[in-house]
Amino acid sequence: MMTPQVITPQQMQQILQQQVLTPQQLQVLLQQQQALMLQQQLQEFYKKQQEQLQLQLLQQQHAGKQPKEQQQVATQQLAFQQQLLQMQQLQQQHLLTLQRQGLLSIQPGQPTLPLQPLVQGMIPAELQQLWKEVTGSHTADDVVCNNHSTLDLSTTCVSSTAQPKASLLLNSHASTNGQASVLTLKRESSSHEEYAQNHSLYGHGVCKWPGCEAICEDFPSFLKHLNNEHALDDRSTAQCRVQMQVVQQLELQLSKDKERLQAMMTHLHVKSTEPKASPQPQLYTTCSRENGWIYSSQQLEEGFTGILKGLNLVSSATLSKTVSEASPQSLPHTPTTPTAPLTPITQGPSVITTTSIHNVGPIRRRYSDKYNVPISSDWMISVDFLSLPDIAQNQEFYKNAEVRPPFTYASLIRQAILESPEKQLTLNEIYNWFTRQFAYFRRNAATWKGAIRTNLSLHKCFIRVEEEYGSFWTVDDEAFKRGHHIHRGRPRKPCPDEHFDQLVAHSPSLIKNIQTSHAYCSPLSAALQASMAENSLPLYTTASMGNPALNSLANAMREDLNGVMEHTNSNGSDSSPGRSPMQGMHQVHVKEEPLDPDENEGPLSLVTTANHSPEFDPDRDYEDEPVNEDME
């Protein structure tokens, strides 16, 4: 499962340029991004606040204050802890909300959400023991956190010698409500070293106490500075109070943004279920290739807003608000690849605004196979961006909007076939499905119909089955999932040594002819049957047609035979009109496309058969046709 990441403006541009997302995906992406940004803000401030608290508490404890002062410290600490608790609860509530909305996928043990409360849920006795350990004879290696961007001990700070403590901390996961546990004073003071290396109040030789920025050469001098300048006094206390107010403001902001997010989502979902008007035609300018590319000058002008408007996703006002207010402060750069190091949030803000997307360049609308998102429910599950309600919305959208669906013809044909009750469709029914499901396919019929026919022929996953009253098409879903084209890339012109390749190139139709002729109840050649029997392979019979399971079985059979099969259909019973010129051969090698290595193992099987009625194409030059060496 993919973990949502804040994407960079460049990535957003890329997504938009490629048109890889459906409108619903874009909606969800927007929501997700906003949610993630809020989460990161909260995380950052939570972390800072927590570290400051820890530092102060340590100072105070080491300073050896008078009892009266200790009481004061305790009071302040309690206030801080309550604040922390509130933040944690807020954070957890936020995360729960995100999870519930499907915007976040949290896997246990995955260090993607370094927001776990540090010591929450520990009982005082545990903490005292931990404190003893930490303040006792420990080494710096004990609890040094290796992760420099987070204090998430539960996931990143488990060193070999600190296992007991680490497990102790991990146990705190059980209590996530934060209600039952009462933080003790010692909770925050787990270790000096824990934050010595990556202290939030110290970085790049500068004290980061709010408003300080004093230069400290090293960490000891920083600590000295901290003890001298930021000891527990009125000023520090006041600064802490200010910081608390900052946190409170953030909470307020978070709460407001959460409400706003909820309202946005509610609004968008409600809107998306409303009848969609067709996109305004003037938003689209079809350029050089009418069916392939759609450029929109207005899209270029309006950038992001224009694109989504063009997609009829949201109203201009809503979108502008969404984009410009998604993150008033910043949209941090964060790598989307899990392997990439986490970029500090303190980098310069990169705000995605409508202005920053103006320079996206030409926007070309075209599918991208990588993001080829199926439109049916059974396919959609694996797509992270989408939730189930989006599926129907997608279909509704394309039914009414004359927008080219971002799906390949093969995907659509497969979809059409699988949606049919019998899992089989005639060509005309496939046409009708296209026009029914997609407004885009209600014009330029010659083009897309031709494309459909080409795809049916070219993709080995589509199996043509002939019946008495015509033929229909089925889909071998396993073959579809394995790969598409029979001809991978442009077929090569045969060279003298490429007889075999040429046979390969002809194999698809031959394979299909074998199946279709058999389905047509013409007697399968005895030789082929014998060969199948020898290989203990099931026959691919008419009964299997239209049955996906049997189709898969049959496909497996074909692949087990692996390539060299005989063209059994030279007696004219094959009513397939577009016959391969190979049918004129007495015996031919039929080899499947060189498949994946795992599919290409084993000896090649050669099936021979009698050729009853060779039909020779006089217009065809067979000079270069391969000669089967097994031919008599």
Partner DNA sequence: TCCAACCTAAACACGA
Partner DNA sequence: CTCGTGTTTAGGTTGG
CB of 489 to DNA, least distance (A): 4
Tell me how far apart the alpha carbons of residues 397 and 419 are, in angstroms, rounded to a whole number: 18
Part in contact with DNA (CB under 7 A); list of ranges 146-154, 287-295, 386-394, 546-554:
287-295
Nearest-CA neighbor of 330 among 356, 303, 354, 348? 348
CB of 564 to DNA, least distance (A): 17
Nearest-CA neighbor of 117 among 36, 192, 171? 171
Tell me how far apart the alpha carbons of residues 556 and 476 are, in angstroms, rounded to a whole number: 10
Residue 285 contacts DNA per CB under 7 A: no
Nearest-CA neighbor of 444 among 288, 291, 285? 291
Other beta carbons within 10 Å of 268: 20
CB of 213 to DNA, least distance (A): 44
Nearer to DNA, 124 or 572 (CB): 572
Residues in the chain: 632
505, 553, 554, 590: which one binds DNA (CB under 7 A): 505
Nearer to DNA, 258 or 579 (CB): 579
CB of 314 to DNA, least distance (A): 24
CB of 488 to DNA, least distance (A): 3
Q: Considering only residues 429 through 468, tell me which ones interact with DNA, judged by CB under 7 A.
A: 431, 444, 446-448, 450-451, 453-458, 464
Residue 483 contacts DNA per CB under 7 A: yes
506, 518, 589, 591: which one binds DNA (CB under 7 A): 506
41 neighbors 250 (Cβ within 8 angstroms): yes
Q: Which residues pair with 294 in a beta bridge?
A: 286
Nearest-CA neighbor of 156 among 168, 164, 147, 148? 147
192, 414, 484, 558: which one binds DNA (CB under 7 A): 484
CB of 430 to DNA, least distance (A): 8
CB of 437 to DNA, least distance (A): 15
CB of 412 to DNA, least distance (A): 8
Three-class SS of residue 358?
coil
Nearer to DNA, 16 or 561 (CB): 16
Residue 508 contacts DNA per CB under 7 A: yes
Burial 616-631 (b: 16+ CB within 10 A, else e): eeeeeeeeebbebeee
Nearer to DNA, 17 or 105 (CB): 17
CB of 334 to DNA, least distance (A): 20
Q: Considering only residues 379 through 418, tell me which ones interact with DNA, judged by CB under 7 A.
A: 407-410
CB of 377 to DNA, least distance (A): 21
CB of 449 to DNA, least distance (A): 7
Q: Considering only residues 6 through 25, tell me which ones interact with DNA, judged by CB under 7 A.
A: 17-18
Nearer to DNA, 161 or 336 (CB): 336
Burial 223-236 (b: 16+ CB within 10 A, else e): bebbeeebebeeeb
Residue 542 contacts DNA per CB under 7 A: no
Tell me how far the alpha carbon of residue 542 is from its chain's centroid: 39
- Interface map 362-381 toward DNA (x if CB under 7 A): --x-xxxxx-x---------
Residue 219 contacts DNA per CB under 7 A: no
**Torsion sign across C-alpha atoms 30, 36, 37, 38:** positive
For helices 427-437 and 388-400, the axis angle rounded to 10 degrees is 100
Nearest-CA neighbor of 258 among 83, 94, 100, 89? 94
CB of 209 to DNA, least distance (A): 46
Nearer to DNA, 57 or 451 (CB): 451
Q: Where are the alpha helices (DSSP H) in 535-613?
A: 548-561
Tell me how far apart the alpha carbons of residues 451 and 498 are, in angstroms, rounded to a whole number: 29
Nearest-CA neighbor of 192 among 49, 43, 61? 61
Nearer to DNA, 260 or 366 (CB): 366
Part in contact with DNA (CB under 7 A); list of ranges 145-153, 205-213, 347-355, 489-497:
489-497
Nearest-CA neighbor of 461 among 498, 417, 429? 417
Tell me how far apart the alpha carbons of residues 625 and 588 are, in angstroms, rounded to a whole number: 10
Residue 493 contacts DNA per CB under 7 A: yes
184 neighbors 118 (Cβ within 8 angstroms): no
Nearer to DNA, 276 or 464 (CB): 464
Nearer to DNA, 364 or 399 (CB): 364
- Site of interaction with DNA (CB under 7 A): 17-18, 289-293, 364, 366-370, 372, 407-410, 426-428, 431, 444, 446-448, 450-451, 453-458, 464, 471, 473, 483-485, 487-491, 493, 505-506, 508-509, 512, 575-580, 615, 617, 619
